[in-house]
Amino acid sequence: MLRALVLSGIGGGLILISALMASPTLGDDLSRGGLAYVVTSRLGDVWGRVFLVDVVLAASVCTLAIQTATTRMIYSMSRDEVLPFSRKLRTVSRRGATVDASVLVGVGAAALLLINLGHAGVFTALTSTCIVLLNLAYLCVTAPMLYRRLTGWPAELGPQNDETGVPVFSLGRWGLAVNILAVVWGVAMAVNLAWPRQEVFDPEGTSPLLQYFALIILALTIVGGIVAFHVKKGAYRAAIGVKPPDREPRGAPR
């Protein structure tokens, strides 16, 4: 994983540097066209478009992979009874396909695509909101982990080995510093991307909904998560292996 992260960072950095070096200009054309402008300006209109068609196909395959992963996640969460309509969404056909979950993901993706037609600002709002929610998901891991580190974890566990007897990966004394940096970075990114800047989300000034789209979706997500947790509290506890507290039978002597 560490090698994959390092190589991904180096590869992404080289792509950006190469694009800046290859771009005929660093002005408005580059800011509006991005990498597509660089490709067509260097390869020509014909071969540049051929290359971009290949990029579109690759992006479509990645989209299908994400939809498949989302379908599996919906099925897994429905199997643990932590989603609305879990009984329906976890249904598997005779051929072993999660039809209902797949249809839900496909219809949702198509609906978002239709919303984007004729209004490029919607695409910016949607992509920014997705990244905000991703940072929120990361914070749901890094923030509780930071709390546990401050209360003694993982020193309280002692030496830990995997199934082959090899010591598990650990950041050691750097763990707390990296964890704090991860939380600060996640909060800063979420605030930066969700900040309702009109010049980014609604440059034409035609739809205040777009300007506050990320904040609205973020608020709905948080409220929906809180409501879902209280409605399905028992299922959530069972999914993470927490036993519900024992209750005395009604009318039992105290």
Query: Would you list the domain boundaries of the chain?
Result: 33-117, 119-157+172-241
Residue 97: what pLDDT?
87
Q: Is the pLDDT of residue 169 over 90?
A: no
Residue 186: what pLDDT?
93
Structure tokens at 141: 């891991």
Q: Is the pLDDT of residue 147 over 60?
A: yes
The answer to whether 183 and 146 are in contact (CB under 8 A) is: yes
- Sequence-separated (6 or more) residues with CB below 8 Å from residue 87: 78
The whole-number average pLDDT for the span 219-227 is 85
Q: Indicate the pLDDT class of residue 241, thresholds 50, 70 and 90.
A: low
Residue 221: what pLDDT?
85
The pTM of this model reads: 0.68
Q: What is the mean pLDDT of the chain?
A: 83
Residue 236: what pLDDT?
63
Residue with tokens 């005929």: 24
Q: Is the pLDDT of residue 56 over 80?
A: yes
